[in-house]
């Protein structure tokens, strides 16, 4: 098992309604005051990263959405060490605009921004904003060009690139980002096209929640492919965490979330996500096999099963690490309170288990 401590990130609630399509009471809010305080709690409690979301509209809930780059900048300005990953959607964004915005934010905030290149699954959103909708694997071909362009603009002078989607002729960005060689590039998606893109160009691959076996199969597949490409890629996995003092309490919260699910909104979301993995040539990928219950959490986060006592959750996190996972992306019902609880009660147990595994004699 890797000697590097597993990293923790949380989803920035820059979208209304939290991370659940459920009418259960959530104390999570999507405004900036709530989020500034949350970011400060997170960086003081063992979280290294936060991930903001991009959404232009949402017919299935998530009615209000703040723009992630602007929001990320505000959160970076309110924190000292947290790294924030801002979602960027090729199509609405052109790589030169993204590269320049991010370079400026990086300069203004001490070099702590990263990006998550998402490829789009929400056709109604693209239609609503007048963006052409590409078929599944074409979206990834565009995203890969987008990432190659970002890297080139950030690291080279006189950058030229002749792609099918983007073209550059001797372009020099000044100033470049503060981070050297450049900000980190994450990607979301788990279809064949998403994995292949990760194995060629992304620094990090983010996938939806899944069983340990489901995650291990992806890790092995991507790492083998990346090795063939001479590329290294790290893995982040989504999980909706319900940590409570007893397992019964945690399970009761999950039951209540599901009981209070909003069926119309869950089904509307379920219809929209058919444009994701299911629309790929192989019919696999994010949401391809999601049940109604899985869809109540936007990114299949219950499946990772970080639901139980701090001890149970810590053991499952270390098992994910043993399967090759580098980062756990967390979501919570009541973010401020639960990020703190997770940092106080779960992360120390993870660190203790990691050191036992690293040094079997001491164990
Ligand atoms: C952790 C994570 C975060 C994501 N964030 C966003 C987002 O903010 N906006 C968005 O439109 N899609 C987002 N996506 C969706 C992906 O970019 C991708 O379109 C989707 O997972 C379907 O991928 P697939 O068909 O390759 O499995 C995210 C996916 C993951 C796993």
Contact 194 CB / ligand 1 (< 6 Å): yes
pLDDT bucket at 359, cuts 50 / 70 / 90: low
How confident is the model over 144-175, as pLDDT tens digits? Answer: 999 999 999 999 999 999 999 999 999 999 99
For ligand 1, atom 4, name the residue with the nearest CA. Answer: 188
Q: Which of 265, 328, 215 is nearest to 18 (CA)?
A: 265
Contact 53 CB / ligand 1 (< 6 Å): yes
In CATH terms, 7-358 corresponds, of 3.30.1330.10, 3.40.640.10, 3.20.20.30, 3.40.50.720, to 3.20.20.30
Give the whole-angstrom CA distance, residue 335 versus residue 80.
20
How confident is the model over 21-41, as pLDDT tens digits? Answer: 999 999 999 999 999 999 999
How confident is the model over 48-101, as pLDDT tens digits? Answer: 999 999 999 997 779 999 999 999 999 999 999 999 999 999 999 999 999 999
* Top mutation candidate among 121, 135, 188 for ligand 1, by most atoms within 8 Å of CB: 188
Residue 204 scores a pLDDT above 80: yes
Q: What are phi and psi of 324, to 5 degrees?
A: 110, 10
Question: Percentage of the chain with pLDDT > 90?
Answer: 91
* Top mutation candidate among 56, 118, 235, 289 for ligand 1, by most atoms within 8 Å of CB: 118
Reported as type and span, the H/E element at residue 151 is: helix 136-155
- Could you tell me which residues are beta bridge partners of residue 240? 331
Question: Percentage of the chain with pLDDT > 70?
Answer: 99
State the first-to-last Cα distance of the chain, in angstroms, to the nearest integer: 15
How confident is the model over 273-319, as pLDDT tens digits? Answer: 998 888 899 988 889 989 999 999 999 999 999 999 999 999 999 99
Mean pLDDT of 337-363: 88
Per-residue pLDDT at 363: 44
Mean pLDDT of 227-249: 98
For ligand 1, atom 13, name the residue with the nearest CA. Answer: 118
């Amino acid at each position: 098992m890797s000697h590097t401590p597993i990293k923790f990130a949380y989803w920035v609630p820059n979208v209304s309604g939290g991370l659940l399509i459920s009418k259960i009471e959530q104390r999570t809010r999507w405004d900036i005051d709530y989020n500034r305080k949350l970011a400060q709690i997170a960086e003081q409690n063992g979280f290294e990263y936060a991930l903001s979301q991009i959404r232009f509209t949402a017919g299935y809930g998530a009615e209000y959405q703040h723009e992630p780059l602007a929001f990320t900048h505000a959160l970076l300005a309110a924190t000292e060490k947290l790294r924030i990953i801002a979602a960027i959607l090729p199509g609405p964004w052109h790589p030169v605009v993204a590269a320049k915005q991010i370079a400026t934010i990086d300069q203004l905030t001490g070099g702590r921004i990263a990006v998550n290149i998402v490829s789009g699954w929400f056709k109604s959103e693209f239609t609503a904003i007048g963006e052409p909708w590409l078929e599944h694997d074409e979206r990834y071909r565009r995203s890969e060009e987008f990432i190659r362009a970002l890297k080139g603009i950030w690291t080279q002078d006189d950058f030229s690139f002749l792609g099918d989607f983007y073209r550059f002729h001797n372009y020099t960005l000044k100033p470049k980002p503060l981070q050297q060689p450049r900000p980190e590039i994450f990607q979301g998606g788990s279809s064949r096209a998403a994995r292949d893109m990760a194995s060629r160009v992304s620094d990090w691959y983010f996938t939806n929640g899944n069983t340990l076996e489901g995650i291990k199969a992806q890790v092995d597949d991507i790492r083998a492919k990346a090795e063939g490409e001479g590329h290294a890629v790290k893995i982040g996995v989504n999980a909706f965490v319900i940590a409570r003092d007893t397992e019964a309490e945690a399970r009761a919260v999950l039951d209540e979330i599901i009981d209070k699910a909003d069926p119309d909104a869950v089904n509307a979301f379920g219809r929209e996500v058919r444009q994701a993995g299911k629309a790929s040539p192989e019919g696999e990928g994010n949401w391809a096999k999601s049940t109604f219950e899985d869809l109540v959490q936007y990114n299949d986060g219950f499946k990772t099963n970080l639901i139980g006592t701090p001890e149970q959750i810590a053991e499952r996190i270390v098992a994910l690490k043993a399967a090759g996972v580098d980062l756990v992306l967390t979501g919570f019902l009541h973010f401020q309170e639960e990020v703190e609880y997770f940092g106080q009660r779960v992360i120390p147990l993870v660190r203790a288990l990691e050191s036992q595994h690293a040094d079997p004699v001491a164990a």
